[in-house]
Structure 1
């Protein structure tokens, strides 16, 4: 398994965990269940850990992919920039979730507002997860790039 293969194996996890975490946390907020909220926090923490894996494997993937004919360094650089921002936000969400998990466990008064803050933060992380995932896909999947239909139409004329 080379660096690109490993990156492909782990890079979807940091994108999926925030989505699952947001659904679980929203369910916990709506049902007023601390156990479900804690599960959501735990999912966000797992997401930040998997972000570490994806980020640590990115350089190895870049080395492999740069050698493939027809791959634009522009798309790799754009993905790398978006991934760095996403990673910082994911780590922040994981840290805030750890604090919120503790607040919930200790039944602190800040526990309830913390769940709303985490939920809002999770939506921001999801937005940047989508940006990062799409920019990564665009490296090899020309069909998802903007104006891909225009490019396709030009090649058939």
Structure 2
């Protein structure tokens, strides 16, 4: 497995973990379950740690894909900038989740406000995760690029037999 392959394996995790954790957090808030909310905090923290793997493998992946036909530095740079911002946001989310976990365990009075704040911040992180995933996909998947021109449909020759 080369660095580009490893990057493709781990780069989805920082996007997926916050989505899962938001669903769990909402469930915990609805059912007023501290255990469920703590589970969401742990998943946010794990998601921020997976961001480290995605970021550290990105440079090696860049060295490999920049030599592939159709890949331009422009797409790589856009993805790199988006990924840097997204990773910082995931680290902040992980730190806030540590605080939220501590506040929940210690049953601090501000815990409920912190839970809502972390949930809202997580939604922002998910948005930037989507942006990062899209810019990463555009590097190799020309069909998702905004300027992609769909090819004209192939017309079947009327004289050919259908098989």
If the length of structure 2 is used for normalisation, what is the TM-score? 0.91
| Structure 1 runs, 4 residues or longer, greater than 3 Å off | none
Q: Deviations over 1:3-44 (max 9, x none)?
A: 101100100100100000100001111111111000000000
Structure with more helix by fraction: 1
Shift of residue 127, structure 1, vs aligned partner: 0.2
- Match status 1:10 vs 2:10: yes
> Highest CA radius of gyration, 1 or 2?
2
Aligned-pair RMSD on alpha carbons? 1.4
- Match status 1:141 vs 2:146: no
Matches within 5 A, 1:21-36: 21-36=21-36
- Match status 1:128 vs 2:133: no
Q: Deviations over 1:111-131 (max 9, x none)?
A: 111100000000000000000
Give SS of 2:70's match. Answer: coil
Shift of residue 152, structure 1, vs aligned partner: 2.3
Give SS of 2:54's match. Answer: helix
Give SS of 1:43's match. Answer: helix
Give SS of 1:152's match. Answer: coil
Distance 2:124 2:7 in 1: 23
Give SS of 2:150's match. Answer: helix
If the length of structure 1 is used for normalisation, what is the TM-score? 0.95
Residue ranges of structure 1 left out of the alignment (5+ in a row):
none
Q: Deviations over 1:99-153 (max 9, x none)?
A: 00000001111111110000000000000000000100000001111132xx224
Partner of 1:118: 118
Distance 1:124 1:134 in 2: 16
- Match status 1:88 vs 2:68: no
Aligned length: 154
